[in-house]
């Protein structure tokens, strides 16, 4: 496995931090090396809360992703503009097409537009757009299966919040399904 | 055999103090030492000395002692008391230490209701450094940094620490006393005892402000200093209790 | 023990409590707030005390009091707050009290910013307070290393009766990595007969003070302190040498920037340039001896740090004229970029040819 270097970005409140943390946590449970580096400070309250997640089979050097991102998951337009240039050629840009109608400038990358807000709404949980996006990323990266991530989520929620698992799992699965159809198309 | 009518308290060591002739620090040390001995808490007491004339108090009190940085004695005492809540902890501070550089620490220790006792010696001047103006220096009083007399329009009014601290709910016991004559020395001892009783009963923060003299830096004889204290300091710094918990033993 | 995914700041709190810390005095400042928050939540559960002080100045003096009363105690802050604590640290060093201080550095000078920095190197290693004192400075580069160091730091402080500074930065504080809490090596520690806990009527009073008005006594104190510091230099110096055996250029870098230097090293090696890394784990004592172990292949050293050049002074001392010393520094909250480090190394190697 080559290193997976993923930037998750969006508005504060869209759940990009927890999405990235979940990826790192899943990696750790799989016995892989992981790091999760958040942006912090006032920018969190504005446009581009983001985190850098690295999943690797070997010890991780810098936790910063710098022009070597294998994937960017952008939940809003400022995030796409800010981070598309961090992608390696052939890298994957998963965009939330519910909020991002513009095209990226890069032409040497793979773009996977996902209408995450609409998909989340159709599942009856508008807040789970981040899980739709994460599910889509799982589909196109083959990093983890939906079961791997759901297993990690189960540990995060514990028995007290067990009722939160099914809707999140459904959103992950839905995101995965949608991405497969986008890629096929 | 002659009857014993007075003996030095076990609360003080035998070390000769460095205080100037006529300075009242010695009396105040003795009162604190006697109270700690009489309350039978001396062996479980930790004191904190300040920066200033009383820095060397750690050599004079016959109990475990710490020397704090300038103004920080209430913070050091807080650290000790939080680790050893069943011990008696006191800070001994002068007016430069407490009322100038250490205002934040004293106000917040009082505000937290920190269960410590502070002995605050107010002689209206910086003694150790050579007689500079203190926040407690009186209007018109000449010092080495107010050579024309303290000017209200330039440096404001002298700070009344006890009145300020008495506005704070956590300050359970606040009293101002003086040691310019034997009658007041006895009253001062009672106040000091009540302050330690307040601590012992866990009722909150306690402080005794003691008006004191500095013959050397005031440029007066010891007797003239006592007279000056009575004539000038007491009118501005009125004596009396400002806060006292119901439960504290007041004689 | 099972690995857990933890944020650096919280991991520090967890490791401190496992290391026996029962008292925390601090004041809020970004980017280390998760440490006091964690301690306020967790210390009461283990019978300890968390107290938010009125200032950093008060906090470090509460540490002085608690350490004198025999407690395992710590404080944490970030750069401007650590500046305020310097007076207290000097007094703690002078009074020979053990404690642990954490600095999650941010950019300066003054209020600076809140993004990661390493510009407190001078303050940390030269002493920001007055007088002839030293204290141990650990600079962990991962959350696991941070945890290992924190769990041991209280023992080390007690062993030598010195303040121990753990120097991280905003990135170490904010990032998450898997950690495992491992028992540190057991050290035999002296009993604390010097503490001020009340005489109990069974001994003469103990005095904790940094005051020595007699110059003879004060010089004696300093000589004793420096004998102790020499012991620390002998026993506690730590570093990691990585791929230095055949290196032509050796990066010297600590903490967060060492991770970027390591990436740059791999990029250079993939391209045929033999790069190595000396990573000081203790900044004081600085691992001068690591440089004596370098082979004849070395043509240049390069300090990579988040400052305009502070550690580079120690690298020059370490080099002692043997190798040219370069610098790649970013500051103000800017973190070095691996490609820039690669470029700087190539340029420097061309210059020193």
List the alpha helices (DSSP H) in chain A: 16-29, 77-83, 116-122, 129-141, 146-157, 165-184
Task: Examine the domain organization and report whether C24 and C138 are in the same domain.
Answer: yes
Task: Examine the domain organization and report whether C259 and C304 are in the same domain.
Answer: yes
Task: Examine the domain organization and report whether C22 and C112 are in the same domain.
Answer: yes
Structure confidence at residue C187 as a pLDDT band (50, 70, 90): very high
Chain C CB contacts of A64 below 8 Å: 171, 260, 335, 337
Q: Which domains does chain B have, with CATH numbers?
A: 25-243 (3.40.50.970)
Q: Which residue of C has its CA nearest to B67?
A: C209
Please tell me if residue A5 touches chain C, with a CB cutoff of 8 Å.
no
Chain B CB contacts of C58 below 8 Å: 72, 75, 78, 104-105, 108
Q: Rounded to whole angstroms, how far apart are CA atoms C90 and C158?
A: 17
Contacts for A17-20 with beta carbons within 8 Å, 24 or more apart? A17/A49, A17/A51, A18/A130, A19/A73, A19/A130, A19/A131, A19/A133, A19/A134, A20/A51, A20/A52, A20/A53
Tens digits of per-residue pLDDT, A168-180? 999 999 999 999 9
Q: Is the pLDDT of residue A44 over 70?
A: no
Distance (Å) from the alpha carbon of B207 to chain C's nearest alpha carbon? 19
**Averaged in consecutive runs of 10 residues, what is the pLDDT profile of chain B (251 residues)?**
91 96 97 98 98 96 98 98 98 97 98 98 96 97 96 97 98 98 98 98 98 96 98 98 81 51
Task: Examine the domain organization and report whether C247 and C232 are in the same domain.
Answer: no
| Cβ-based contacts under 8 A for chains A and C | 58
Tell me whether chains B and C touch (3+ CB pairs under 8 A): yes
Q: Which domain holds residue C335?
A: 240-351
C197 inside domain = no
What is the reported pLDDT for A45? 54
Strand extents, DSSP E, chain C: 4-7, 23-26, 49-52, 73-77, 99-105, 136-138, 163-169, 176-179, 207-208, 239-242, 249-252, 275-280, 282-284, 300-305, 325-329
**Chain C interface disruption, residue of A22, A37, A40, A52, most C CBs within 10 A:** A40
Interchain contact, A66 vs C171, CB within 8 Å: no
Interchain contact, A35 vs C31, CB within 8 Å: no
Task: Examine the domain organization and report whether C59 and C106 are in the same domain.
Answer: yes
Tens digits of per-residue pLDDT, C200-245? 999 999 999 999 999 999 999 999 999 999 999 999 999 999 999 9
Quick one: average pLDDT of A26-30?
Answer: 97
The yes or no reply on domain A4-184 and CATH 3.20.20.70 is no
Chain C CB contacts of B46 below 8 Å: 69, 196-198
Domain boundaries, chain A: 4-184
Q: Is the pLDDT of residue C153 over 80?
A: yes
| % of chain B residues with pLDDT over 70 | 98
Number of domains in chain C: 2
C64 inside domain = yes
Tens digits of per-residue pLDDT, C57-104? 999 999 999 999 999 999 999 999 999 999 999 999 999 999 999 999
C205 inside domain = no
Q: Residue C211 is nearest to which of B67, B82, B87, comparing CB atoms? A: B67
Task: Examine the domain organization and report whether C131 and C253 are in the same domain.
Answer: no
Three-state DSSP string of chain B: CCCCCCCCCCCECCCCCCCCCCCCHHHHHHHHHHHHHHCCCHHHEEEEECCCHHHHHHHHECCEEEECCCCCHHHHHHHHHHHCCCCEEEEEEEHHHHHHHCHHHHHHHHHCCCCCEEEEEECCCECCCCCECCCCCCCCCCECCECCCCCHHHHCCCCCHHHHHCCCCCEEEEEEEECCCHHHHHHHHHHHHHHHHHHHCCCCEEEEEEECCCHHHHCCCHHHHHHHHHHHHHHHCCCEEEECCCCCCCC
Helix (H) / strand (E) element for A53: namely strand A49-56
Closest CA relative to residue C326, chosen from C340, C339, C338, C309: C309
Task: Examine the domain organization and report whether C216 and C230 are in the same domain.
Answer: yes
Please tell me if residue C180 touches chain A, with a CB cutoff of 8 Å.
no
Q: Residue A66 is nearest to which of C31, C262, C338, comparing CB atoms? A: C338
Please tell me if residue C161 touches chain A, with a CB cutoff of 8 Å.
no
pTM of the entire predicted model: 0.95
Tens digits of per-residue pLDDT, A66-111? 999 999 999 999 999 999 999 999 999 999 999 999 999 999 999 9
Q: Residue C23 is nearest to which of B13, B82, B88, comparing CB atoms? A: B82
Q: Residue C198 is nearest to which of B46, B48, B82, comparing CB atoms? A: B46
C177 inside domain = yes
Quick one: average pLDDT of A117-134?
Answer: 95
Structure confidence at residue A47 as a pLDDT band (50, 70, 90): low
Please tell me if residue B63 touches chain C, with a CB cutoff of 8 Å.
yes
The subunits that touch chain C, with at least 3 C-beta pairs less than 8 Å apart, are: A, B
What is the reported pLDDT for A182? 83
Chain C CB contacts of A63 below 8 Å: 171, 175, 177, 259
Task: Examine the domain organization and report whether C297 and C323 are in the same domain.
Answer: yes
Task: Examine the domain organization and report whether C263 and C309 are in the same domain.
Answer: yes
Task: Examine the domain organization and report whether C226 and C263 are in the same domain.
Answer: no
What is the reported pLDDT for A184? 61
Task: Examine the domain organization and report whether C230 and C254 are in the same domain.
Answer: no
Please tell me if residue C112 touches chain A, with a CB cutoff of 8 Å.
no
The subunits that touch chain A, with at least 3 C-beta pairs less than 8 Å apart, are: C
Task: Examine the domain organization and report whether C224 and C284 are in the same domain.
Answer: no
């Amino acid at each position: 496995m080559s290193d997976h270097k993923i930037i998750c970005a969006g508005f504060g409140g869209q759940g990009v931090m927890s999405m990235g943390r979940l990826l790192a946590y899943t990696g750790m449970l799989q016995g892989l090396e992981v790091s999760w580096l958040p942006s912090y400070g006032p920018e969190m309250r504005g446009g581009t809360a983001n985190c850098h997640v690295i999943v690797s089979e070997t010890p991780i050097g810098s936790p910063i992703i710098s022009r070597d991102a294998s994937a960017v998951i952008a939940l809003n337009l400022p995030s796409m503009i800010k981070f598309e240039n961090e992608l390696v050629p052939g890298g994957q840009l998963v965009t939330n097409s519910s909020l991002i109608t513009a095209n990226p400038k890069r032409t040497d990358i793979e773009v996977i537009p996902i209408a995450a807000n609409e998909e989340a709404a159709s599942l009856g949980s508008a807040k789970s757009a981040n899980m739709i996006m994460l599910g889509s990323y799982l589909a196109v990266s083959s990093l983890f299966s939906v079961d791997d991530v759901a297993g990690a989520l189960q540990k995060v929620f514990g028995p007290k919040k067990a009722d939160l698992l099914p809707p999140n799992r459904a959103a992950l699965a839905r995101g995965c399904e949608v991405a497969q159809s986008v890629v096929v198309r | 055999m002659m009857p014993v009518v007075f003996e030095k308290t076990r609360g003080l060591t035998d070390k000769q103090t460095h205080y100037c002739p006529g300075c009242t620090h010695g009396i105040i040390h003795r009162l604190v030492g006697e109270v700690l001995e009489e309350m039978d808490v001396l062996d479980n007491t930790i004191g904190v000395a300040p920066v200033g004339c009383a820095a060397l108090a750690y050599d004079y009190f016959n109990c475990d002692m710490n020397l704090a940085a300038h103004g920080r004695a209430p913070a050091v005492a807080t650290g000790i008391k939080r680790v050893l809540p069943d011990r008696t902890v006191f800070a001994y501070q002068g007016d430069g230490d407490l009322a100038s550089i250490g205002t934040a620490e004293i106000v917040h220790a009082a505000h937290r209701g920190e269960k410590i006792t502070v002995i605050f010696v107010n002689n209206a001047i910086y003694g150790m450094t050579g007689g500079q103006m203190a926040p407690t220096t009186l209007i018109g009083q000449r010092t080495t940094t107010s050579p024309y007399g303290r000017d209200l329009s330039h440096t404001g009014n002298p700070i009344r620490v006890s009145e300020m601290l008495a506005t704070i709910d956590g300050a359970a016991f606040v009293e101002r006393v003086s040691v310019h004559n034997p009658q007041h020395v006895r009253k001062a001892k009672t106040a000091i005892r009540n302050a330690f009783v307040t601590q012992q009963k866990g009722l909150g923060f306690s402080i005794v402000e003691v008006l004191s003299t500095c013959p050397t830096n005031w440029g007066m004889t010891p007797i003239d200093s006592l007279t000056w204290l009575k004539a000038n300091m007491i009118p501005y710094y009125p004596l009396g209790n400002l806060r006292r918990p119901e439960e504290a033993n007041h004689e | 023990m099972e690995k857990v995914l933890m944020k650096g700041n919280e991991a520090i709190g967890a490791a401190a409590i496992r290391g026996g810390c029962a008292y925390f005095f601090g004041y809020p400042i970004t980017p280390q707030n998760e440490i006091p928050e964690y301690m306020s939540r967790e210390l009461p559960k283990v019978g300890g005390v968390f107290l938010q002080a009125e200032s950093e100045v008060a906090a470090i003096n509460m540490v002085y009091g608690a350490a004198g009363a025999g407690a395992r105690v710590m404080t944490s802050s970030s750069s401007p707050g650590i500046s305020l604590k310097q007076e207290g640290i000097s007094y703690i060093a002078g009074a020979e009290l053990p404690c642990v201080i954490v600095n999650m550095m941010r950019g300066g000078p003054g209020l600076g910013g809140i993004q990661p920095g390493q510009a407190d190197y001078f303050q940390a290693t030269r002493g920001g307070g007055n007088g002839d004192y030293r204290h141990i400075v650990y600079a962990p580069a991962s959350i696991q290393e941070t945890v290992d160091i924190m769990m041991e730091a209280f023992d080390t402080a007690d062993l030598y009766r010195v303040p121990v500074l753990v120097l991280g930065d905003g990135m170490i504080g904010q990032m998450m990595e898997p950690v495992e809490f491992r028992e540190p090596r057991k050290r035999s520690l002296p009993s604390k007969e010097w503490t001020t806990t009340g005489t109990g009527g069974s001994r003469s009073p103990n005095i904790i003070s940094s005051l020595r008005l007699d110059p003879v006594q004060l010089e004696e104190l300093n000589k004793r302190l420096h004998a102790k510091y020499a012991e620390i230099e002998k026993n506690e110096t730590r570093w990691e040498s990585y791929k230095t055996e055949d290196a032509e250029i050796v990066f010297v870098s600590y903490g967060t920037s060492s991770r970027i230097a390591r990436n740059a090293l791999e990029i250079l090696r993939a391209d045929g340039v033999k790069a190595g890394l000396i990573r000081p784990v203790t900044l004081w004592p600085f691992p001068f001896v690591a440089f004596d172990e370098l082979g004849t292949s070395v043509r240049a050293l390069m300090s990579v740090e988040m400052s305009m050049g502070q550690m580079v002074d120690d690298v020059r001392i370490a080099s002692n004229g043997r190798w040219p010393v370069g610098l790649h520094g970013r500051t103000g909250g800017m973190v070095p970029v691996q490609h820039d480090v690669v470029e700087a190394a190539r340029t420097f190697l061309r210059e020193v040819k």
